Amino acid sequence: GESVGLHLPTLSVQEGDNSIINCAYSNSASDYFIWYKQESGKGPQFIIDIRSNMDKRQGQRVTVLLNKTVKHLSLQIAATQPGDSAVYFCAEAPGSGGSNYKLTFGKGTLLTVNP
């Protein structure tokens, strides 16, 4: 039978295309959101963050969009490269400082970039 939790959502793109990875979060009180990249055999690596008073934030080749109305977060990667292949996690926290930095992680999306 199928094992719950072992099948990550997957996204396969061609090198040079733009990628969009989506995440639905659960807590309307969440104030802080982070995207992480986890390559095989490594710990999660911080990509970009955004606070609830913003709806868009840009970094180098990445953009995070936040829609609080529908509790949706997305990560856009421009000109995706083979080195972007990894599992991407969103995480949410209720606020800033102290125990409010307890992160709740989403399920993760496996991004595969085809050369």
The residues of the shown chain that bind other proteins, judged by CB under 8 A, are: 5-8, 32, 34, 36, 42-46, 49, 89, 91, 96-99, 101-108
Residue 12 makes CB contacts below 8 A (sequence gap 6+) with 111, 112, 113, 114
Q: Name the minimum Å distance from CB 6 to other proteins.
A: 4
Q: What tokens does 97 get? A: 């400082």
Interior/surface letters 16-28, b for 16+ CB within 10 angstroms, e for the rest: eeebebebebeee
d(CA 98, CA 95): 9
Q: Name the minimum Å distance from CB 71 to other proteins.
A: 17
Kindly tell me which of 65 and 103 has the beta carbon lying closer to other proteins.
Answer: 103
Kindly tell me which of 12 and 100 has the beta carbon lying closer to other proteins.
Answer: 100
Kindly tell me which of 15 and 48 has the beta carbon lying closer to other proteins.
Answer: 48
